[in-house]
Amino acid sequence: DKDEINEIVKSSEISNYKIETIRTKVEFRSIDHWIDCDVKASPIAEEISDQQYSELLKKARLDLNKYLTEDQKVRFNMSAHIVTIE
């Protein structure tokens, strides 16, 4: 949420910044790769057991297949907020 990011940056006492929102296409080589990137790059990586991760992958393969292309890659559009200091 752009407002939440704005509050975080303000609280860090940075005064000369801008927040830009871009829309982009994201691609992963598979559902497993997508989940791996999301989990391993987050704080949950230290908390999730191998068994929990395995269960997450099973559920993701079922629930997220609507994002698969004919070549079995995952593609979707998303927004990203970018903070730059001027």
Q: Please state whether 13 falls in left (phi above 0), alpha (psi between -120 and 50) or beta.
A: left
pTM: 0.69
The pLDDT value given to residue 15 = 85
- Percentages (nearest 5) of helix, strand, coil residues in the chain: 50, 30, 25
Res 71 pLDDT > 90:
yes
86: its two tokens: 């001027």
Residue 30 per-residue DSSP state = S
78: its two tokens: 């998303």
The pLDDT value given to residue 31 = 95
| Residues 12-65 pLDDT 10s | 988 899 999 999 999 999 999 999 999 988 999 899 999 999 999 999 999 998
CB of 34 within 8 A of CB of 48?
no
- Whats the size of the chain, residue-wise? 86
